[in-house]
Structure 1
Amino acid sequence: MAKTYEGGEALAEVVRSGFVEGVHRGSVVVLDGSGAPVAGAGDGTAPVFPRSASKPLQTLGMLRAGLALTDPADVAVVSASHAGEEFHLARVAALLRSADLDPAALHCPPDLPFGEAAREAVLRAGGGPSRLAMNCSGKHAGMLLTCLAAGWPLDGYWRPEHPLQQRLTATIEECAGERVAAVGVDGCGAPVSAVSLTGLARAYLRLVTAGPGCDESRVADAMRAYPEVVGGTVADDTRLMRGVPGMLAKIGAEGVFAAALPGVGAVALKIDDGATRARMPVLVSALRRLGVRAPILTEYAEFPLLGGALPVGGVRPVW
């Protein structure tokens, strides 16, 4: 029976007016450029669902299975948790049209855009949820095109037993260096594979250290070249990749974040209560342990708390 993730330890505290009013617990793994652990807290060996932080690895599996994308921005959108901005929707729609498909072929559920500004724009225009606007639509479009390239049926492409999903699970296992402990259903309806945070960090390190021209580097290079496609204009992973040259970064639901920098190392973390406000301060603390310095890290080092519309404290790392 697979080891169960039972939670981590205190990673960040919530300080208001000098008083600690709460704590965010979780786990974090920090690997150096060789893959050796250099720091960490909580449980980095028990399996967790990386959620959308798995997407770059799933994209790698699709490329290996025959997904033919000549535009790196298309590779980026297949790896994306996009904000649903117009340029995201246009790119996913174009991918579908290239295979004579329309958004009805996507299994991801109709949703409003993930990004606040894009969501408000849709509502102001009288629009509503759509499959194209769902933040995983690029991944699902990539899955459909991969099935066509490999000669696999489109029907049930999202099911764990489908040849596509079997191939993607095997790719995740190879990159993480461990067996997938469990397979669940992600928010978009596609499978999500449980691996440890150590395995997730190891996989990201592999993406950024692979040789030029291979599929691993195609994924990493595309995401770093088009960070706004991966997230959105103001997304945390987008801004981190813009602010730290060479950084590969991807958010995941339930407080997950993974990042890697060639020649430096990799980080994978999970905030147990899923709080996004604790995720970036903890990530900054981890990256600083690897010697990473950049103005964007100073900006993310503490999540501000307001009182009467004025700063009165913040969410700060404690490990």
Structure 2
Amino acid sequence: MSDSNTPSVSAPLGLAAVADAPVLAHVTRGDFVECVHRATLVALDADGAELFAHGAVREPIYPRSTNKPLQALAMVRAGLDLPPDQLALVCSSHSGEPAHLDRVRSILAGAGLSEADLRNTPDLPLDPAERTRWTREDLPASPLGQNCSGKHAGMLATCVINGWSTHDYLDVDHPLQRAIEATLAEVTGETVAATAVDGCGAPVMAVSVTGLARAFGALAAADPETPEGRIADAIRSHPELLGGTGRDVTALISGVPGLIAKDGAEAVYAVGLADGRGLALKVADGGAGISAGGQRARPVIMAAALRRIGVEAQVLEDQSEVPVLGHGQPVGRVVAVGV
């Protein structure tokens, strides 16, 4: 029994979206369910009405890198004018392969800048082969090699175009970040619920999975001549630059005509279809790496969700489960349940 003099304790911001998320994936070893992944998931029609939903889909989450195409949209609206391959890099969480890094350098050079102007966190490439090569050749972690360098190069180029300062472009009150917040609020149909610092040093702004699904559906259905359509075209035409070799997001975009998608840290994922439908999910137990924690369930749940709304493609069969290994051999799987 509570005492009337006891102060009420409100739940931490963000908890509602993950604390009571339903189980949407099983991890099996043999025929034994070893663990589960809980997730919040929504699918919307072209008018923004729910086709189905699981969990607290209107509660805010941090979309992490899933926000990148929406951040890029703000940059294009602010005058950033890049060819599709470079624009795909601005939307990317790239793997740090040579094709990625060469284009990041080109974006910077086109703005009269260099790698020294990047303010994102130094890191080694995500791609295993490139990471091994950098380690073998004793190459230091760098902002260029970090997976967000394309976004940061785009941010810097946008600042140069507008005459904004570049040394403080990551400050939440910088004109660039204010423009991103306004664009994010517009395309998601929501007020940004909270702002913090992302892993790369840029502001990360909280909206719901419903807002993300709405925004991605709108991008995917946009006229190609609009800023929104330019973002979608860049993603569709260069999925290998949005992700990289062997990445599930690259395979999904390549395998479903008209689809756009973006993955993010802590197991966030958003998809837009050419007819305006949108889907987004957040796996509750997250994971910062591209296959860590709930990240292994992320493509599996999305594949099941896309099949549920009638999308058919071989890539959805390919991504319908992830193998669980024992002694180097498949002994179980990660599969979607209840989607």
The separation in 2 between residues aligned to 1:96 and 1:131, in whole angstroms, is 13
Residues matched between the structures, number? 318
**1:37 matched to which residue of 2?**
50
The separation in 2 between residues aligned to 1:299 and 1:312, in whole angstroms, is 17
Of 93, 104, 117, 1:105 maps to: 117
Which stretch of the first structure deviates more once superposed, 48-57 or 23-32? 23-32
Shift of 1:9: 1.2
Of 244, 255, 259, 1:247 maps to: 259
Query: Which SS does the other structure have where 1:292 is aligned?
Result: coil
Alignment of 1:1-319 (within 5 A): 4-6=14-16, 7=18, 8-69=21-82, 71-263=83-275, 265-274=277-286, 275-319=294-338
The separation in 2 between residues aligned to 1:15 and 1:174, in whole angstroms, is 42
The separation in 1 between residues aligned to 2:86 and 2:320, in whole angstroms, is 32
User: RMSD across aligned C-alpha pairs, in angstroms?
Assistant: 1.3
Mark the runs of 5 or more structure 2 residues left unpaired by the alignment: 1-9, 287-293
Query: Which SS does the other structure have where 2:297 is aligned?
Result: helix
Which stretch of the first structure deviates more once superposed, 121-130 or 234-243? 121-130
The separation in 2 between residues aligned to 1:102 and 1:185, in whole angstroms, is 24
The separation in 2 between residues aligned to 1:15 and 1:67, in whole angstroms, is 47
Shift of 1:3: 6.2
Query: Do the aligned residues in 1 keep the contact of 2:267 with 2:282 (CA within 8 Å)?
Result: yes
**What does the per-residue CA deviation read over 1:169-198, in whole Å, with 9 as the maximum and x for residues that have no partner?**
100000000100001100000001100000
State the TM-score, normalized to the length of structure 2. Answer: 0.91
Query: Which SS does the other structure have where 2:311 is aligned?
Result: coil
Give 2:190's aligned amino acid. Answer: E
The separation in 2 between residues aligned to 1:4 and 1:100, in whole angstroms, is 40
Give 2:134's aligned amino acid. Answer: V
Percent of residue pairs identical: 48
**What does the per-residue CA deviation read over 1:44-84, in whole Å, with 9 as the maximum and x for residues that have no partner?**
01000000000000000001111122x11111001110000
Greater C-alpha Rg = 2
The separation in 1 between residues aligned to 2:309 and 2:13, in whole angstroms, is 28
Shift of 1:26: 1.5
Shift of 1:5: 3.4
Which stretch of the first structure deviates more once superposed, 192-201 or 236-245? 236-245
State the TM-score, normalized to the length of structure 1. Answer: 0.97
